[in-house]
Structure 1
Amino acid sequence: MLWILLAIVALIVVATFVLFRVHDLSQFDDDDWAIREVAPNPAHDEVMERIKDMGRASKGLKGKARLMALRNHLDSLGEGVEIESDIRHCDYPKGEWVIAPGADTRRRVLYIHGGAWAAGSPRSHRAITDRFSHVANAAVFALDYRLMPEHRFMDGIRDCRQAYTWLLNHGPEGEEKAKFMVVAGDSAGGSHVLSLLAWIRDNGVRQADAAIALSPSTDLTLTAPSNRDNIRTDALLGPVFGGLSKIPLPILWWGTLAAFRISPTNPVASPLRGHLNDLPPTLIHASTTEMLLHNATRYAAKARSEGSPVEVHTWQNMVHVWHIFSPLLPEAEQAFDDIGEFLARVESGQTEAKTA
């Protein structure tokens, strides 16, 4: 019996090595980036209370009930936001247009929301999409892509690809070619953004003029240092995902394969692990205290090494995707100003592959 057990263990070890070829990317752990310091502000305490409310909303619940509570709470974040934009529902592709007063509808932003691929919606992220429409002077299409676990991970990927190609030729007023295209998203949606850019490049589709990823997930292998080092300082992701640090990485990789039906080393799910050449000007935001910090900085460093104009801008001690707390947080407003400045530089041809 012992030799059978040892044979099984050996087989699993070999299968793990063959299936998950996790290359060491620590050469891209360069901490030489500017950090925007943050002054204490009463708004930060209010944000922390809102995050605690999210935990309370699902406390004691399990399974589907817990997921539905989380989804409902995220949607409630968008319901209390005062916005100036016109909201128009769209059935195909599924989502909503968010159009600031006077926005040029030939300028378009495809926005892909976050929520760990299992939560979030256009409604939950209206604070972000409203501000995007203003700073980009564009019509924003917030995609309502299919979520896990009701759907497969790749269903959401296909929804993003379909929406992008549709937006190239359709605006809120009907069929009309886009003159300026931006792809943007946060967290899990930021991963979809970066994956989409590579797909566009590889399939001969008109590339986006610019891309913006807010606190993106870029690597599901969870090998970046901040995935573990920043558990205690990440008020949002730490309590939810911090426990994963106690599980050996190979087991997590097999779990990801089972849940996502795609290897965590596949660039579709982990954009960092793909080819990052010939990408459009891309801006990434991250916080120094979030678990996904090195997901952002590694991606930017690797992309620059391959010649793509990717910038990473970091803020000190901010919560994961603090942009969603606009206009409450001054730093959220600063982040949107930064996005506006980036887009202006893109249009003037002044972007370059650097860290700022």
Structure 2
Amino acid sequence: MLWIFLAIVVLLVVATFLIFRVQDLSHFDGNEWAVNEVTPHPAHDEVLSRLKEMGRASKGLKGKARLAAVRQHFDRLGAEAEIESELRPCTLPKGEWVIAPGVNTQRRVLYIHGGAWSVGSPTSHRAVTNRFSQVANAAVFAVDYRLMPEHRFMDGIIDCREAYTWLLHHGPEGESEAEFMVVAGDSAGGSHTLSLIAWLRDSGLRQADAAVALSPSTDLTLTAPSNRDNIRSDAMLGPIFGGLSKVPLPVIWWGTLAAFRLSPTNPVASPLRGNLANLPPTLIHASTTEMLLDNASRYAAKAKAEGSPVELHTWQNMVHVWQIFTPLLPQAEEAFEDIARFLERVEARSD
């Protein structure tokens, strides 16, 4: 029986190597990026309190009940946000227009919300899309893409692609050509953002004028050091995903393949592992203490090495996707001011 067990182990090891072929990208570590120093502020404690409240909302629940509770909590936070923008629902493609007063609606932003591809909605991220409309002087379309586990991962990808191509020719008032296009997203939506701009390049469609990714997931192989080193310092993702540090990476890869129906090395799910040449100007934000820090820094380093214009700006000790806590958190406002300056630079270079 021992030889049968050993044969199975050998077959699994060989199959893992042949199927996943995880390339070592550690040579992209160690780059120095712009760091925004942060002075402690009372709002930081309020943010941490809200994160604990999210954990309590699903405490004791399992499966579908837990997922439903987390989704409801996320949406409630967004619904309670004080915004100035007009909201217009859209059914095809499914989503929500967010239009700040006086903006140019021929300037458009496709916003792709985060939430681990299973949580979040246009409602949950209204604080973000409201500010994005203001700083970009644009109409924002928050796409309500299909979520896992009810739908396949690729269903969400398809929804984002279709929403972008629709936005090129449609605004809040109907058919009209877009003058300026931005793709933006956070966390899982940041992954979709980076995947989308690569797909646009390969498809020969009109590329976005700029992209913005907030604390993006870029690599589902979880091989970057911060995925494990920053578990304790990441107040949002640490409690949720920290347990994965005890699971061998090959087991995680097989689990990802089963859940996503894609290899974790597939660039559609892990944009870092694709071709990063000839991409539009891209701004990435990340916190120095979040688990996805090295995912962001590796993407920025690889994109720059392949000739694409990318900027990575980091903030000290911020929670994952701290921008969602605008206007409560001063650093969230700083982040949107940084986005405004980035878009101004992009337009200045294109003139």
SS at structure 2 position matched to 1:291:
coil
* Equivalence for 1:22: 22
Offset of residue 265 of structure 1: 0.2
SS at structure 2 position matched to 1:263:
coil
Deviations 1:210-268 (A, max 9, x none): 00000000000000000000000000000000000000000000000000000000000
* Equivalence for 2:35: 35
* Equivalence for 1:307: 307
**Could you tell me how far apart the structure 2 residues matched to 1:77 and 1:271 are?**
29
**Could you tell me how far apart the structure 2 residues matched to 1:34 and 1:162 are?**
34
Does the Cα contact within 8 Å between 1:30 and 1:301 map onto a contact in 2? no
Offset of residue 37 of structure 1: 0.6
Does the Cα contact within 8 Å between 1:272 and 1:298 map onto a contact in 2? yes
Identity of aligned residues (%): 77
1:107 corresponds to 2:107: yes
* Equivalence for 2:224: 224
1:326 corresponds to 2:297: no
Offset of residue 118 of structure 1: 0.1
Greater alpha carbon shift after TM alignment, 149-158 vs 75-84: 75-84
Offset of residue 350 of structure 1: 7.9
Q: Which amino acid aligns with 1:143?
A: V
* Equivalence for 2:213: 213
Greater alpha carbon shift after TM alignment, 34-43 vs 230-239: 34-43
SS at structure 1 position matched to 2:107:
strand
Offset of residue 34 of structure 1: 2.2
Offset of residue 96 of structure 1: 0.3
Greater alpha carbon shift after TM alignment, 195-204 vs 341-350: 341-350
**Could you tell me how far apart the structure 2 residues matched to 1:259 and 1:301 are?**
29
Offset of residue 202 of structure 1: 0.2
Does the Cα contact within 8 Å between 2:95 and 2:141 map onto a contact in 1? yes
SS at structure 2 position matched to 1:349:
helix
**Could you tell me how far apart the structure 2 residues matched to 1:40 and 1:16 are?**
45
TM-score (norm 1): 0.98
Q: Which amino acid aligns with 1:86?
A: E
Q: Which amino acid aligns with 1:56?
A: R
Offset of residue 87 of structure 1: 0.1
SS at structure 2 position matched to 1:348:
helix
1:249 corresponds to 2:249: yes
* Equivalence for 1:279: 279
Does the Cα contact within 8 Å between 2:107 and 2:138 map onto a contact in 1? yes
Q: Which amino acid aligns with 2:333?
A: E
Q: Which amino acid aligns with 1:280?
A: P
**Could you tell me how far apart the structure 2 residues matched to 1:101 and 1:187 are?**
28
Q: Aligned runs of 1:77-116 on 2, under 5 Å?
A: 77-116=77-116
Q: Aligned runs of 1:1-356 on 2, under 5 Å?
A: 1-349=1-349
Deviations 1:26-82 (A, max 9, x none): 111024112111101100000000000000000111111111111011101111111
Offset of residue 333 of structure 1: 0.3
**Could you tell me how far apart the structure 1 residues matched to 2:227 and 2:78 are?**
28
Q: Runs of 5+ in structure 2 lacking a partner?
A: none
Offset of residue 192 of structure 1: 0.1
**Could you tell me how far apart the structure 2 residues matched to 1:83 and 1:102 are?**
14
Deviations 1:143-191 (A, max 9, x none): 0000000000000000000000000000000010101000000000000
**Could you tell me how far apart the structure 1 residues matched to 2:236 and 2:279 are?**
30
SS at structure 2 position matched to 1:279:
coil
**Could you tell me how far apart the structure 2 residues matched to 1:176 and 1:201 are?**
23
TM-score (norm 2): 0.99
**Could you tell me how far apart the structure 2 residues matched to 1:350 and 1:97 are?**
26
Q: Runs of 5+ in structure 1 lacking a partner?
A: 352-356
Offset of residue 308 of structure 1: 0.1
Q: Which amino acid aligns with 1:220?
A: L
Does the Cα contact within 8 Å between 2:31 and 2:301 map onto a contact in 1? no
**Could you tell me how far apart the structure 1 residues matched to 2:170 and 2:80 are?**
30
The structure 1 segments of at least 4 consecutive aligned residues displaced by more than 4 Å after TM superposition are none
Does the Cα contact within 8 Å between 1:214 and 1:285 map onto a contact in 2? yes
Instruction: Figure out how many residues of one structure are paired with residues of the other and give that number.
Output: 351
Q: Which amino acid aligns with 1:258?
A: A
Does the Cα contact within 8 Å between 2:209 and 2:281 map onto a contact in 1? yes
Give the alignment's Cα RMSD to 1 decimal.
Answer: 0.9
Does the Cα contact within 8 Å between 2:111 and 2:185 map onto a contact in 1? yes
